[in-house]
Structure 1
Amino acid sequence: MMYPVRLRDNNGINRKQAKRRGASKKKRVQKKSIKWSRLLANFLKLSLVACFIGLSIWYWPKLTDYFNQPVKRVQVEGQFAALKKVQVRQLVEPYLSSRFFNIDLTGLQADLEKVPWVESVALRRVWPDQIKAKIVEHIAVARWNDDELLSNKGSRFKPEKLTGLKGLPKLTGPTGTEQQVMAQYHKIAQLIRPLGMSVNELSVSSRGALVFVTNNFQVLVGRDDVIKKIQRFVKVYKTQLAIKKESIKSVDVRYSSGVAVTWKTSEISSE
């Protein structure tokens, strides 16, 4: 009986093994190549970073000097009547020794706002070496008590001198009532303007009693129904008092109806 016989081809086996060994060796070479490529790339990256840091450290003072230059000029914008630009310059000069990003704008603004005639200040940097200051000046519309002024916005401020401001109306009242007194002044001035009168002085007591002085005489109003009483005064003045205005010393409208007139001759009458 015959059996099939398989012949072993040693040469074929050797060729396959050699092929596998060659492929493995090639892969190992490729892996080593990739590994060295990555190491070289990382080294180059680190080198670039180190060069950048070194150059930055070396150039930083020059860059700082370029971008943070000394302030050479402060430009002041605004229309001034009473405020003196000399005062502004004197306050600004100490800050000109600072650099652009180091200048104390908060301190400069505070110093400028201390000037009595200054209402508000807005500062901004203009690169490379300039500061712009926009200053709004108070507009004085009245004197307040003995040595202060009121602005058109009802703000109280105290200049060093009141020279040249004696022609402003004088308003008097308790501290904290500035805007209220200013509002009453405007209402009364508007009501008596058709009579050819203006309010020279207006005073409000701590209890709210109001008195004002016109061109020729004093008007006592009290603290209640102020507008109603002024309207009554206007009506009586037009019909009965206008022709006698030079002889009037005061008019009292504190009554519920009618007015009381005190004449310069000390004669008292009711209208």
Structure 2
Amino acid sequence: MLERLLIRSRAVPPEPPRRRGATSVEPVQDRFGVLKAVLAAVPWLQIGLGATVVLLAAMVPWAADKVLAAMDQQIMAVDVRGEFVGDSRTGIERAAGRWIGSSYFSTDLADIKADLEQRPWVASAAVKRIWPGRLEIDIREKRPLAYWTDGRLVSRAGELFAPPNPEVAGKLPRLAGPDERVRDVIAMARTMSDELTGYGLGFAGLTLEARGAWTLVLSNGIEVVLGRDQVEQRFERFITVYENRLASRVDEVSRIDARYSNGVAVQWKAELVQAAPKS
């Protein structure tokens, strides 16, 4: 009996030893194996699935168009914002009123912007939609720097423009010169104006003639002829002579010619009175 037991025990393979602390892990079954097998076995199912995907992709734009069409409204109102001097809020609203009743989504905002920026006083226009049927327009006007030749205005950005109402700009210096030299005139005017302020003199205007000669006008009416050459040096010479010799008699001066190498020529108001013809 004992011998039979020993033989049976040898027939049973021994259990492989396990490492201390080791944990046995069962192999993970492929969860998609069944689906892959079905798709491989039924080709028409693959074709149907592909067709469904294509159909859904084609329906997305159609559905989006339908949703937008259902949401679309007419533009019912226009809100205008900005600070106005030359133009007016009412004028901008009337100009934008042509888009009242247009499609909220289909209206091209770039067209509205371009149309408004054709107005003489408008520097830029920003247009945006406000749901469900409103447009909001922000206007930035041109800021006039001076009056220019022929009653036009020049902006601080150096742009010449001719509004129908330039007088609303108020009291401004008067600049003149060839249109293509407008930025040169502005630069010279700013330089001179800044220096004149330090001597208590006001800047009223500056003219650049076609042949290149410069003439400065002070706020007290004095005309300073600077000519074509060495304009900056002649201007400094005028400043020196004014500070040392003319400041106390400025009310008597009518015209100063700085086109001399060693000084300036002064024309006095009394001389003009004496030279005036008697009636």
TM-score interval (norm. to shorter): 0.7 to 0.9
Match of 2:153 in 1: 149
Instruction: Classify the secondary structure of the residue corresponding to 2:225.
Output: strand
Residue from 70, 77, 81 that aligns with 2:74:
70
Residue from 78, 87, 90 that aligns with 2:91:
87
Q: State yes or no: 1:131 paired with 2:135.
A: yes
Deviation at 1:216, TM superposition (A): 2.9
Instruction: Classify the secondary structure of the residue corresponding to 1:120.
Output: strand
Identity of aligned residues (%): 30
Inter-partner Cα distance in structure 2 for 1:210 and 1:55: 69
Task: Please tell me the root mean square deviation across aligned C-alpha atoms, in Å.
Answer: 3.0
Q: What aligned pairs does 1:75-224 form with structure 2 within 5 A after superposition? A: 75-126=79-130, 128-165=132-169, 167-214=171-218, 215-224=220-229
Corresponding letter in the other structure for 2:240:
K
Instruction: Classify the secondary structure of the residue corresponding to 1:146.
Output: helix
The answer to whether the 8 A contact 1:121-1:134 is kept is: yes
The answer to whether the 8 A contact 1:216-1:246 is kept is: no
Residues matched between the structures, number: 234
TM-score by length of 1: 0.74
Match of 2:243 in 1: 238
Q: Closer, same or farther in 2 for the Cα pair 1:82/1:41, shift >3 Å?
A: same
Inter-partner Cα distance in structure 2 for 1:185 and 1:206: 17
Residue deviations 1:119-148, cap 9 Å, x none?
122334455544333321111121001221
Q: What aligned pairs does 1:23-34 form with structure 2 within 5 A after superposition? A: none
Corresponding letter in the other structure for 2:144:
A
Residue deviations 1:163-193, cap 9 Å, x none?
3445211111011111111111111111211
The answer to whether the 8 A contact 1:251-1:260 is kept is: yes
Q: State yes or no: 1:249 paired with 2:254.
A: yes
Inter-partner Cα distance in structure 1 for 2:58 and 2:210: 72
The answer to whether the 8 A contact 1:71-1:130 is kept is: yes
Deviation at 1:84, TM superposition (A): 0.2
TM-score by length of 2: 0.72
Q: State yes or no: 1:225 paired with 2:230.
A: yes
Q: Which runs of 5+ in 2 are unaligned?
A: 1-37, 273-279
46-55 or 207-216: bigger deviation:
46-55
Corresponding letter in the other structure for 1:83:
D
Q: Closer, same or farther in 2 for the Cα pair 1:253/1:67, shift >3 Å?
A: same
Deviation at 1:61, TM superposition (A): 6.9
Q: Closer, same or farther in 2 for the Cα pair 1:129/1:265, shift >3 Å?
A: same
**Higher Cα Rg, which structure:** 1
